[in-house]
Amino acid sequence: MKKKRLVWQIFPAFFLIALASLAVAIWFATNALNLFFLKQTARDLEDHLALLQHQIRPHFSGVDLQRIDEICRENGQLTETRFTVILPDGRVVGDSRENPVHMDNHADRPEIRSARAEGYGQSMRYSKTLDRNLLYVATAMHDGEGLIAITRAALPVVFLDEQKRAIQWRMAGGGLVIAVLVGVISLLASRNISRPIEELRIGAEVFANGELAHKLAIPETEELASLAEAMNKMADQLDRRIQTVVDQRNELETVLASMHEGVVAIDTAEAIINMNQAAADMFESERDKAAGRSVQEVVRNLELQNFVREALATDEARESDISLFTPGETILNIHSSPIRDGSGQSIGTLLVMADVTKLRRLENMRRDFVANVSHEIKTPLTAIKGYVETLVHQEIDSEGDYERFLGIINKHVNRLDAIVEDLLSLSRIERAVDIAESPLEFTETRIGDIIQTAIQVCQNRADEKSISIDRRGDLDLKARVDATLIEQAILNLLDNAIKYSDNGSVVAIDVERRNGATGIHITDHGCGIAKNHLARLFERFYRVDKARSRQMGGTGLGLAIVKHIIQAHGGQVTVDSKPGRGSTFSVLLPS
Ligand code: ADP
């Protein structure tokens, strides 16, 4: 339904009340005027009759009825009034219009009866004689002995009506002017009442549009002024509260955005209420589009969906590791805790997720490492234990056996020593890098000198296998390195090259500068390494051929040490190998 404006509700009421009052006033005024006119005319007629009585009185003593009639006629001609003289028995003896002889007995006329009884009579009625409405006024005429006649004056009401109508027209004109005035004043008054309310309404709409800093003008009316003040106060408080809420939300957003952990709020219908950028990155989804969508839609992972279902079903906090495959495996450690509303009712669950992929991998590596170390140490220890027990508990017959046993024990002790030595080297590098204990000493060193020292250390082993070591490239190149560690890395690689090469072959060391980095390539023509081993070659204790490595006195830690040393320099080590043709290990050091 179309709503009416306030002004059009107030104005018609005002206007109608004013018009009704005006109509009632005019009605009363017209009535009073009618009465006044009637009275006034009756009084005039009475005066005329008094004059008539005075004129006809002398003619009663001589009973000159003729003269009376004449006087009536004369007076009637002078005025618009009809005069009649009636004897007490009702006979008409004079009339200004008609011949009295032909006129009825007037004794029963109402005004005549009243005049006879009370001295005065008045009546308004239709006159057949004159065919119009007339006002009759009759007065009694006495002499010393009593009533001698009744005089009557009559005036057509038309005269009265005409005068009345003229005045009524004026009143109507005045009334119209007053009505227009009343209309204009009503409209103005209605406007005056409705305008401040309209202004308040517009102001309220401004508030509703969020412009709470807007101030409503205070109207002059006391009640509306209080209303406007209350609305201003309300808007002010609302503004402050909204500001507080916005500030709190911004703080929360900042905290959530700066968190490494992913945070997701989920409602009881398993729809996402909100999540931070870290969570969106973990799920590889868009944060803005996630709100309102179900967990199943955003994260296609059954493990996580089940976790959410269980978290929503319980009232307690939960924790679990979940694997996501996006595209590599990511392990998330998820904590859930219920979200409650003001009344303590659970309305969802909050997930806090930490990417523990590296941590879990490290833990695994550490576990494997401990198992590997134990295994590596156990093998020589078992051998040593066996031979020592044989030496202690059994009689050894020949001197040769005795020496052989001791030789074997010595070999295993050396192996143990080599393992421990390599483990210590590894741990030293790790400590230097991870906790900066005795950090690396970088000095500008000539690569040729490092290679020279490394060759010197393994020259004997090369000579034993008649392997020649060929140095190529720009040996004068310099790099900022920890010389001792790089020397150890080159030595390990050279040692492997000699170890896994056939007798009489050539091992080459090539030094070059490529793309601003220093490259050292160690190439052998040995057994080479199958492709499937290359990815794990630099892991601790990883060997391609365990028996061969052990037989050659390898610990399985040599390449792991190389990798750690080169990484500590910010460089990288790679391998390129073809089984049966040889391998090239390349070290790239940034300058
Ligand atoms: P190890 O002490 O057993 O040599 P490393 O860590 O130095 O241990 O090497 C790991 C494994 O990589 C070796 O067991 C060997 O199988 C393989 N390997 C390393 N260098 C070479 C090479 N130059 N040619 C062939 N295989 C190699």
pLDDT digits (tens, 9 = 90+) for 306-332: 999 999 999 899 999 999 887 778 899
Q: Are residues 293 and 420 in the same domain?
A: no
Distance 564 CA to ligand 1 centre (A): 16
At 132, is the pLDDT very low, low, confident or very high (cuts 50, 70, 90)? confident
Give the whole-angstrom CA distance, residue 123 versus residue 91.
Answer: 19
Instruction: For ligand 1, say whether the CB of 303 is within 6 Å of any of its atoms.
Output: no
CATH number of the domain to which 453 belongs: 3.30.565.10
Instruction: For ligand 1, say whether the CB of 496 is within 6 Å of any of its atoms.
Output: yes
Q: Are residues 336 and 477 in the same domain?
A: no
pLDDT in tens, 329-382: 889 999 999 999 989 888 999 999 999 999 998 898 889 889 988 988 998 999
Instruction: For ligand 1, say whether the CB of 526 is within 6 Å of any of its atoms.
Output: yes
Last residue of a domain, one of 119, 142, 163: 163
Is residue 252 one of the residues assigned to a domain? no
Atom of ligand 1 nearest to the CA of 556: 8
Is residue 75 one of the residues assigned to a domain? yes
Atom of ligand 1 nearest to the CA of 559: 6
Whether the link from the prior residue into 156 is cis, omega within 30° of 0, is no
Is residue 187 one of the residues assigned to a domain? no
Q: Are 49 and 152 in contact (CB under 8 A)?
A: yes
Last residue of a domain, one of 384, 410, 432: 432
User: Exposed, middle or buried, 30 (CB in 10 Å: 0-12/13-18/19+)?
Assistant: middle
Half-sphere exposure of 354 (CA within 13 A, CB side): 8
DSSP symbol at 285: -
Which token pair is 292? 């309102």
Give the whole-angstrom CA distance, residue 405 versus residue 321.
Answer: 52
Q: Are residues 33 and 159 in the same domain?
A: yes
Is residue 195 one of the residues assigned to a domain? no
Q: Are residues 316 and 383 in the same domain?
A: no
For residue 159, pLDDT over 80 is answered with no
Distance 496 CA to ligand 1 centre (A): 6
Q: Are residues 139 and 282 in the same domain?
A: no
Which residues, in sequence order, are CB contacts of 188 under 8 Å at separation 6+? none
pLDDT in tens, 423-477: 999 888 888 877 666 678 899 999 999 999 999 999 999 999 999 999 999 999 9
Antiparallel, parallel or unpaired: β 318-325 and 272-275? unpaired
Instruction: For ligand 1, say whether the CB of 543 is within 6 Å of any of its atoms.
Output: yes
> What pLDDT, on the 0 to 100 scale, is given for residue 435?
66
Q: Which residue has the higher pLDDT, 168 or 347?
A: 347
Is residue 214 one of the residues assigned to a domain? no
Is residue 237 one of the residues assigned to a domain? no
Q: Are residues 375 and 289 in the same domain?
A: no
Taking alpha carbons only, the member of 205, 129, 167 closest to residue 33 is 167
> What pLDDT, on the 0 to 100 scale, is given for residue 8?
85
Instruction: For ligand 1, say whether the CB of 203 is within 6 Å of any of its atoms.
Output: no
DSSP symbol at 554: -
Atom of ligand 1 nearest to the CA of 544: 16
Q: Are residues 58 and 143 in the same domain?
A: yes
CATH number of the domain to which 37 belongs: 3.30.450.20
Q: Are residues 369 and 338 in the same domain?
A: no
Is residue 505 one of the residues assigned to a domain? yes
Instruction: For ligand 1, say whether the CB of 582 is within 6 Å of any of its atoms.
Output: no
> What pLDDT, on the 0 to 100 scale, is given for residue 228?
92
Q: Are residues 416 and 447 in the same domain?
A: no
Q: Are residues 277 and 310 in the same domain?
A: yes
Residue 247 host element (H or E): helix 222-258
Is residue 171 one of the residues assigned to a domain? no
Above pLDDT 90, what percent of the chain?
55
Instruction: For ligand 1, say whether the CB of 497 is within 6 Å of any of its atoms.
Output: yes
Q: Are residues 271 and 376 in the same domain?
A: no
Instruction: For ligand 1, say whether the CB of 559 is within 6 Å of any of its atoms.
Output: yes
Could you tell me the pTM of the whole model? 0.53
- Residue-number span of the structural domain to which 274 is assigned: 259-355
For the chain, what is the domain count?
A: 4
- Cα torsion angle, 140, 142, 148, 153, sign: negative
Q: Are residues 561 and 452 in the same domain?
A: yes
